[in-house]
Structure 1
Amino acid sequence: MVDHHRVAVIVDREFRTVFRSRTLLALAGFVVLIVVSLAGAATGSPGGYVSLTLDLLAPIELLVPVLAFSFVYRSIQGDHERGELDVMRTYSLSRIEYLAGVYLGRIAGLLVVVIGALVLAGIVASLGAVVPVSFLATHSAGDTPLVFVRFVVLTAVYTLVVSSLAVAASAVARRTRDVLALSVGLLLLVAIGLDLLLVGLLSAEAVTQGNLHVFLGLSPASAFRGLVIETAVTPALAEAPPVAAASPLINIVGLTTWLLIPFVAAYAAVWQE
C-alpha cells in the first residue's frame, strides 16, 4: 500500500532540489524568455490565439523535451551515485513510493516553468491583440482564449510524457556518462528521430496516406502536434481542412503508451525488492 506521506516527503525534496539548482533556473529562465519573445514578436498579427498557438507549437515541441530531460535526467542516477538510494532502501520506502515522489516532484517544478512561460506568452500576446480576420472564426467562440488554454493543457500532457522517458533513463543508467548518453539519445529520438523515421517510411512507401494517421500517433511529438491541431486549432477555423491532421483517439493512446511504458521500465530498474 502506498503511503502518501512518504511520497509527499520525496516530492518536497525533489521540488526543492530543482529550484536550488542555478543551472536549472538559468535554463528555465532562458526557455521562458524564448517563449515570451516569440509571443511578443507575434503581437499584432491577425489570427489571435490561433496564430499564437501555431507560432509556439514547433518551438514547444523542441523546448519541452530539452527542459524535461535537463530537469529529470539525474534525479535517480544522482541518488545512486551519491549513495542516497542505498540509504533510502533501509527505510520502509517502496519502489513505487520513491519513484512516484521523484517523478511528481520533478514534474511539479517543470510544469511551473512550462505553464508559467505559456501564461506569460498569452498575456503578452493579448496586450497587443487585434481583431482576428474573418476567415479564421466560424462563430463568436471561434478564436477565443479557449484555443490557447487547450494548447496549454496539451503541452502539460506532453511534458508529463517526455518526463516519464527522462525518469526511465535516470533509473536505468548508473553512471553520469551513461545517463547523459541515454538522455541525449532519447531526446533526439523524441524531438526529431521518430519524425525522420516516418519521413523515411513515406519515401519507401511503407506508409501510405491510408495508414499515415496511425503512424503519426506513435511518436510523442507528432501525437502532441496532431492533438493541438485537431482539438485546439481546427475548431476555431471557418472551414475545416479537407484531410484531418491526426486521429485524436490514436494520438491519445500513443501518448498514454509513451507515458506508462517508461514508468514501468523505471520501476523495474530502480532497485530490486
Structure 2
Amino acid sequence: MQVRQILTVAGKEFRDRIRNRWVLAVAMVFAVFSLVIAYFGSAQQGVVGFRSIEITIASLVSLVIYLIPLIALLLGFDAIVGERERGSLDLLLSMPITRLELLLGKYLGLSAALTASMLGGFGVVMALLFPHIDSRGLYHFVGFMLSSVLLGLAFLSVAVLLSVVARDRTRASGLAIAAWFFFVLVFDLLMLGVLVGTGGKYAGDAFTWLLLLNPADVFRILNVFSLEDVRTLYGLASIVPPALGDPAAMGGVMVAWIVFPLVLAKWRFKP
C-alpha cells in the first residue's frame, strides 16, 4: 500500500468538493442552524437569546443526530458505485493503484471535506459565543464538535460500504436513505418497543449495551454524560449505566464504527 497513491485520490476528491462549493454550502447550513438554535432555541419558553452552553449543546445534539448522518450518507453513497456506472472504475484499477488505496483515498478525501464543513460551521458559532462562555464551557463545546466529526465519519464509512455493495446509484441512494431512517428513527423506536412490550424485563445493562450498535446513540451518550444539565434533559441518562459514560470508551466505539464498515467495504470491493 502506497501512501502517495492514497493522498492523490484523496486530494482529488477534496478539490472536487471545494470546486463545486459543497464544503462552503454545508458549513453555512451548520452555522445558520446552530446560531438559530443557540439564540432562539428557548423561544417557546418565552426567552430569546443565549442562555447557557449546556442548553445550547443539548439543543445542538438533536440537530446533529438528524442532520450530520444524512449529509454524510448523501456525500458518500456514490463514491464507488458512481465510478462503476461512469465506466471509470475499471480504468482506475488498471493503473498502478490497488482497490484498498482507491477505497481509502476516496474515503479520506470525502472525510476531509465533511470535517472541514463541520468545523467551519461550528467554528463560526464558537467564535460568536466565545464572549458568553468560560473555559469549561469552551472545553465542552470543543468536545461536542469533535464527537460530531466522529459521528459524521462513522456514517460516511457506512455510506462507502453501501456504495461498494450497491449495483447502481439508484439502489445506493435508496440504501443510504434506508440507513438514515433505520439508525436515526427506527432503531430507538424498536428498542423502546421491546422495552415496553416486555414490561421492562430486559431493561438492564444487556439492553443498554445494544445502544452501541447505533452510532447515533453512541454520539448521544457521549454528549449526555458530558454535562450535568444535559443529562437531565434526556430520559436516556436514566437507563444508561455509568460504564457507558466514559468518553474515552465511547470515543473508541465511534472509531470502531468508522473502521469496521471500511473493512467490510474492502472485503466486498470488486470492480
TM normalised by structure 2 equals: 0.83
- The worse-fitting range, judged by mean Cα deviation, of 257-266 and 215-224 is 257-266
Say whether residues 1:146 and 2:139 are aligned partners.
yes
2:170 corresponds in structure 1 to 177
Q: SS where residue 209 of structure 2 aligns? A: helix
1:218/1:251 contact within 8 Å kept: no
- CA shift at 1:22, angstroms? 5.5
Say whether residues 1:117 and 2:121 are aligned partners.
yes
Residues 125-181 of structure 1: CA deviation (Å, up to 9, x unaligned): 335x37xxxxxxxxx86x421011111111111111111001111111121211111
- Residue-pair matches, total: 256
Q: SS where residue 69 of structure 1 aligns? A: helix
Provide the aligned C-alpha RMSD in A. 2.8
1:226 corresponds in structure 2 to 221
In structure 1, C-alpha distance between the alignment counterparts of 2:202 and 2:186, rounded to whole Å: 16
- Picking from 96, 103, 106, the partner of 1:99 is 103
Tell me: CA distance 1:226–1:116, structure 2 relative to 1, closer, same or farther (3 Å).
same
1:24/1:70 contact within 8 Å kept: no
- CA shift at 1:76, angstroms? 1.1
- CA shift at 1:28, angstroms? 5.0
1:35-54 map, 5 Å: 35-42=34-41, 44-46=49-51, 48-54=52-58
- Picking from 178, 182, 197, the partner of 1:189 is 182
In structure 1, C-alpha distance between the alignment counterparts of 2:120 and 2:22, rounded to whole Å: 18
2:206 corresponds in structure 1 to 211
In structure 2, C-alpha distance between the alignment counterparts of 1:23 and 1:105, rounded to whole Å: 13
TM normalised by structure 1 equals: 0.83
1:259-270 map, 5 Å: 259-270=258-269
- Picking from 108, 111, 132, the partner of 2:112 is 108
Say whether residues 1:86 and 2:90 are aligned partners.
yes
2:69 corresponds in structure 1 to 65
